[in-house]
Amino acid sequence: MIASAPAKIILTGEHAVVYGQPAIALPVSSLRARVEIEPSKDGFRLLVHDLRQTVHYVQHTTKDALVSPLQRVISLTLDAVNRPLPEVTMHLRSDIPIASGLGSGAAIATAVSRGIAAAVGVTLDSDSLNQIVFEAEKFHHGTPSGVDNTVIVYERPVYFIRGKPIENIKIAVPFYLVIADTGQPSPTRLSVADVRELVNNEPDHYGTVVERIGSITVAARALIERGDLIGLGKALNQNHIYLRDLTVSSEELDYLVEAALEAGALGAKLSGGGRGGNMIALTTHEHAVEIAEKLQTAGATRVIITEISQ
């Protein structure tokens, strides 16, 4: 038995989404967290192979004693399905780099929750699963907007506004994104806290930046729905400039963004929490491989090409 969940990228609107502005997020289905489940004779174990760790869980552990996000996921899932802990060994493996803005934490939580539900013979509905993964995200991020868990659980392009029902996006013309990793970790909790300080201390300036990023997302949605990739590229470039203003870019991210544009990308920006992690470059099928190669030459530690279509 296998359960899984995809990675994600944020196309536009990261950070501003924390303040009620919209964001567009897309699943990256080729990168996944997977849980394999096998029966066990000696109770429950979750083996986290990439970290060489074992997560144990004792039924009836009081909630205060649940220390790790994965234990929290297990506990919330058992509550939601109303079943005892299954006697299984779960093997967790993930292709998604950790702390790089690709939603590794939310994807792992989603795969584990689906795996527990499958092991007790229940299919969790997406709304309940989304709630569980959101709770787990609070462990990683403190005050997450909910965009990561939503795009990962529903695995479709979303136009997301905090606290509002998800809106779907119609992708008129398929496009390609080259996702390139700086190799530096992206400390989302820290960058979100730093942006909060800026917005609190200088609301006139940074409040306006946040609103302008929101307007870019509104425009980006219309451009995607019209199939205007040139316009979308310009919107991504502008979004990156505002993210720099919010101090969440880095030398490495700026360098890769420049390299992508020089290689002919229609637009490029950092994606996710920033300060490290990944950037994305918008392109078409014909130019994707060339841009990926240029980004690798420019120092990207990992490059992924993904097609975005309906």
Catalytic machinery residues: 148
Q: How many CA within 13 A on the CB side of residue 230?
A: 0
Scan residues 146-185 and list those touching ligand PMV (CB under 6 A).
147-148
Q: CB of 252: closest distance to ligand PMV in angstroms?
A: 15
Q: CB of 37: closest distance to ligand PMV in angstroms?
A: 27
* Residue number with CB closer to ligand PMV (75 or 186): 186
Q: CB of 8: closest distance to ligand PMV in angstroms?
A: 7
Residue pair 269/279 in contact by the 8 Å Cβ criterion: yes
Scan residues 27-86 and list those touching ligand PMV (CB under 6 A).
none
Q: Which of 98, 95, 103, 94 is nearest to 14 (CA)?
A: 103
Residue pair 201/303 in contact by the 8 Å Cβ criterion: no
Q: CB of 242: closest distance to ligand PMV in angstroms?
A: 13
130 near ligand PMV, rule: CB under 6 A: no
Please work out, in degrees rounded to the nearest 5, the angle formed at the alpha carbon of residue 264 by the alpha carbons of 259 and 269: 55
232 near ligand PMV, rule: CB under 6 A: no
275 near ligand PMV, rule: CB under 6 A: no
256 near ligand PMV, rule: CB under 6 A: no
- Part in contact with ligand PMV (CB under 6 A); list of ranges 48-56, 59-67, 140-148, 297-305: 140-148
The b/e string for 285-310 (b: 16+ C-beta within 10 A; e otherwise) is eebbeebbebbeebebeebbbbebee
Instruction: Print the binding letters for residues 83-122 with ligand PMV: x by CB under 6 A, - otherwise.
Output: ------------------x-x-------------------
273 near ligand PMV, rule: CB under 6 A: yes
- Token pair 């990261």: residue: 14
**Residue 60 phi/psi, 5° resolution?**
75, 10
Q: CB of 17: closest distance to ligand PMV in angstroms?
A: 5
209 near ligand PMV, rule: CB under 6 A: no
Scan residues 4-23 and list those touching ligand PMV (CB under 6 A).
10, 14-15, 17-18
Total number of residues that touch ligand PMV (CB under 6 A): 17
- Tell me the C-alpha to C-alpha distance, in Å, between residue 45 and each of 33, 51, 243: 17, 15, 42
* Residue number with CB closer to ligand PMV (145 or 182): 145
Choose, by CB under 6 A, the member of 192, 198, 210, 243 that binds ligand PMV: 192
* Residue number with CB closer to ligand PMV (89 or 188): 188
Name the strand (E) or helix (H) holding 106: helix 104-119
Choose, by CB under 6 A, the member of 188, 217, 238, 283 that binds ligand PMV: 188
Positions in the binding site for ligand PMV (CB under 6 A):
10, 14-15, 17-18, 101, 103, 141, 144-145, 147-148, 186, 188, 192, 272-273
